[in-house]
Structure 1
């Protein structure tokens, strides 16, 4: 597939994701709120919708005051659509250093061995079910942290290829902490250091109770088509 055709398809998927609602996937947030656990309740619940070697689709439910820690998506494309509540997203774009310069090569090797990355810290976004879908690519917004705001927040997550896929190299999720930030005008650069999986983060799972993925996409396409017709 050509780059232009891929981008066209990716843009179409983003437009479809904009139309998704909690009702489409039969998400019952009130039911999830009633679930009780022995000991401390996990900060996040994950609901798997669909997975194959090419794509994974699921729902993350963040409890009040909780977050998905700062993490990456190696060589992956992603679409995130909030379907309940409000979420605050802090994203980073990794800075690629030009290699011809010897100084840059040494700096790049030093950062790799020290498990550090230079990144652009992007403006924070606050999104809810009325907001358009957010996205990430291998080169843009690939590292992010997601917080719930003023209560529960749920978002549908589409990632391709999935984590731990054997195609095109490693796809292990890495976690980070921000070490140093330099601001200059509107731009903001920072150093991100890799860390072990944060001990305060873990999740439980819940069963998906919505329609099969084929029916879900059919419903979303129909709604999107009607929306486009009304726009003219």
Structure 2
């Protein structure tokens, strides 16, 4: 999911983060402490200043080591290292708590609910962002061109559906449009926090996915490298269509309906997609 970040804003937050880190370090020496928090997204808009967190700092440092920039994929060893750090990450490590009103709200919106996001960190090698989804909210089907993505469900329950492209196939059926390609379902399941980190790669693992919130939930996405229209890594949205009677490689559905295949048709950004950006004020990262 693509969201815009401000270079000046990131620089300002980095400076503020360093100041807060030093203040908290002095406080800890004196026996002091502090807690971090998020605002209500969108109802929990007021946010509390966050203290430094060893967990989020460790995550940042591992990301700096793992992601090498454009046109690179982390090694299996690096993937495992980052996955282990994320699997241990707790909501409170990024200033979240189930006590926030947002996570207690079980009401169903009559109109398309808005999705709130907050940037933790962004650079040319990777980005760290948390998405807050109220019940029934959907992040539409979209891709991650040339990216390796780690998704960590922090709180709540959501349904994840993901696809990979199928290139070696034979069919006598016409696609819905010239903007359609055949894809195969990789994941189509409910996930409830705490659960293992989901990982997708540039061409495998479910590079095209959609999230649907069952309860209020928060998910941390780490993208390496991040979206960049200038570098041909723009976000594309899709609509899926049912498909049957497909032959892929040497295998065939033998005339029966194989529900694991879909036509994915490229579409414009959905008009009802509502995204609200808020400033990250959870535990701070010390950069440099």
Report the TM-score when normalising by structure 2. 0.61
Which ranges in structure 2 are unaligned for 5 or more consecutive residues?
1-67, 105-110, 246-252
Residues 53-92 of structure 1 aligned to structure 2 (within 5 Å): 53-92=124-163
Partner of 1:213: helix, strand, or coil?
coil
Task: State whether residues 42 and 203 of structure 1, in contact with CA within 8 Å, keep that contact through their aligned partners in structure 2.
Answer: no
Corresponding residue number in structure 1 for 2:85: 16
Which ranges in structure 1 are unaligned for 5 or more consecutive residues?
35-39, 216-232
Corresponding residue number in structure 1 for 2:96: 27
Partner of 2:203: helix, strand, or coil?
coil
Residues 107-146 of structure 1 aligned to structure 2 (within 5 Å): 114-140=178-204, 141-146=206-211
CA positional deviation for 1:46: 0.3
Is 1:209 matched with 2:281?
yes
Larger Rg: 2
Distance 1:4 1:159, change over 3 A: closer
Q: Give the whole-Å Cα distance in 2 for the aligned partners of 1:205 and 1:11.
A: 31
Is 1:163 matched with 2:227?
yes
Partner of 1:198: helix, strand, or coil?
coil
CA positional deviation for 1:27: 2.2
Write 1 or 2 for the structure with the bigger share of strand.
Answer: 1
Partner of 2:196: helix, strand, or coil?
coil
CA positional deviation for 1:182: 2.6
Q: Give the whole-Å Cα distance in 2 for the aligned partners of 1:32 and 1:58.
A: 18
Q: Give the whole-Å Cα distance in 1 for the aligned partners of 2:92 and 2:74.
A: 31
Task: State whether residues 113 and 137 of structure 2, in contact with CA within 8 Å, keep that contact through their aligned partners in structure 1.
Answer: no
Aligned length: 198
Q: Which moved more, 1:9-18 or 1:154-163?
A: 9-18
Report the TM-score when normalising by structure 1. 0.75
CA positional deviation for 1:166: 4.2
Partner of 1:121: helix, strand, or coil?
strand
Deviations 1:168-199 (A, max 9, x none): xx111000001232374877211100011111
Task: State whether residues 86 and 127 of structure 1, in contact with CA within 8 Å, keep that contact through their aligned partners in structure 2.
Answer: yes
Corresponding residue number in structure 1 for 2:49: none
Task: State whether residues 25 and 209 of structure 1, in contact with CA within 8 Å, keep that contact through their aligned partners in structure 2.
Answer: no
**CA root-mean-square deviation:** 3.1
Corresponding residue number in structure 2 for 1:174: 236
Deviations 1:136-173 (A, max 9, x none): 10111100010101x21110000011001645xx1110
